């Protein structure tokens, strides 16, 4: 037996022999049966994938078509509600002014306006035209400001120049308004508006 000295390098241990078999990482030739079985599974998966892709594409097309049809039905329903009022308006637009007095025309236009509002309200349309309410930038468009005569009226709607409209929760057009602003009582007659 040889004795190790400091100058001798220790010999590295030899790695163990890998076991033989499929776990060893050695290439194993697959059997013809396994290849046929795997090719069949692959073909089945491909077929399922293509069917799912086609079903999804059909679903997207059907959804777009249904949305379009629903939108068209909603528009047709609104127009159907308005046609009676439009017919009345057309009748008043074609009256002979020499044979009709102003009150009759005024009353007729007023009736048409009420009919149109009845139809629009049934469709969920509401007017945004309140004065004295707090200014809301989501509902109002500030055109200009005016001094408020009291601190409680600060940032409230002082006048509506053009009404706004909303349908349900959706704003169709903001109301164009004048907003009141409290400027304090200094130099303004102690806030009495003079």
Tell me: the pLDDT tens digits for 148-194?
A: 999 999 999 999 999 999 999 999 999 999 999 998 765 444 444 44
- The sheet carrying 156-162 orders its strands as 140-147, 175-181, 156-162
| Domain architecture of the chain: domains with CATH | 34-123 (3.90.20), 126-184 (2.30.22.10)
90 vs 49, higher pLDDT: 49
* Contact (CB, 8 A) for 139 and 171: yes
Distance of alpha carbon 130 from alpha carbon 163, whole angstroms: 9
Strand order in the sheet with 164-167: 125-128, 164-167, 170-173
Lowest mean pLDDT among 47-61, 106-120, 151-165: 106-120
Euclidean distance between CA atoms 155 and 59, whole angstroms = 50
The model's pTM: 0.58
- Residue 156 near residue 121 (C-beta atoms within 8 A): no
């Amino acid at each position: 037996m040889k004795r190790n000295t400091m100058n001798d390098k220790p010999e590295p241990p030899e790695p163990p022999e890998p076991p033989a078999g499929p776990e060893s990482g050695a290439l194993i030739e697959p059997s013809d049966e396994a290849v046929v079985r795997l090719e069949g599974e692959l073909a089945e998966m491909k077929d399922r994938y293509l069917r799912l892709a086609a079903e999804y594409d059909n679903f997207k097309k059907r959804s777009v078509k249904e949305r379009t049809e629903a939108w068209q039905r909603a528009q047709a329903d609104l127009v159907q509600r308005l046609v009676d009022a439009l017919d009345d308006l057309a009748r008043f637009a074609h009256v002979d002014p020499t044979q009709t007095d102003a009150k009759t025309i005024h009353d007729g236009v007023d009736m048409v306006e009420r009919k149109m509002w009845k139809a629009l309200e049934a469709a969920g349309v509401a007017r945004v035209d309140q004065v004295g309410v707090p200014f809301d930038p989501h509902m109002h468009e500030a055109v200009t400001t005016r001094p408020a005569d009291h601190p409680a009226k600060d940032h409230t709607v002082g006048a509506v120049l053009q009404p706004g409209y909303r349908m349900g929760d959706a704003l169709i057009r903001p109301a164009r308004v004048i907003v009141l602003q409290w400027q304090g009582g200094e130099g303004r007659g102690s806030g009495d508006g003079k």
